[in-house]
């Protein structure tokens, strides 16, 4: 079983909403915060989060739990990204 499949199974045990998402290179997510837990597993590409000046890049085969309630923006990397998302609150990503 691939790592991404194992991660999907892990997320499905922990979160009521699990899905795959992808964006083109350079996609910008404006500043926002999440009301509930959001967990990401990047299967391809990368994204860089900006937590009020503190940058966090998440690359292929890496996992990241987005801090609840913390303002941030993000920019998808130069190759785009494909991500598996687990959400505590539907539509909170």
Instruction: Enter the pTM of the model.
Output: 0.91
Q: How many CB atoms lie within 10 A of CB 28?
A: 9
Cα 87 from chain centre: 10
| Structural domains present in the chain | 3-87 (2.60.120.10)
pLDDT band at 1 (very low <50, low <70, confident <90, very high): low
**C-alpha to C-alpha distance for 61 and 69, rounded to whole angstroms:** 25
β partners of residue 56? 49
- pLDDT for the residue 6: 84
Condensed to tens digits (0 to 9), the pLDDT of residues 20-50 reads: 999 999 999 999 999 999 999 999 999 999 9
């Amino acid at each position: 079983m691939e790592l991404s499949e194992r991660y999907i199974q892990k997320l499905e045990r922990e979160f009521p909403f699990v899905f795959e998402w992808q964006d083109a290179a350079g996609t910008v997510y404006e500043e926002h915060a999440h009301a509930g837990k959001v967990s990401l597993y990047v299967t391809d590409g990368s994204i860089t989060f900006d937590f009020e000046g503190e940058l966090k890049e998440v690359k292929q085969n890496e996992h990241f739990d987005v801090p609840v309630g913390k303002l941030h923006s993000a920019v998808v990397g130069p190759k785009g990204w494909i991500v598996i998302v687990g959400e505590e609150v539907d539509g909170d990503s």
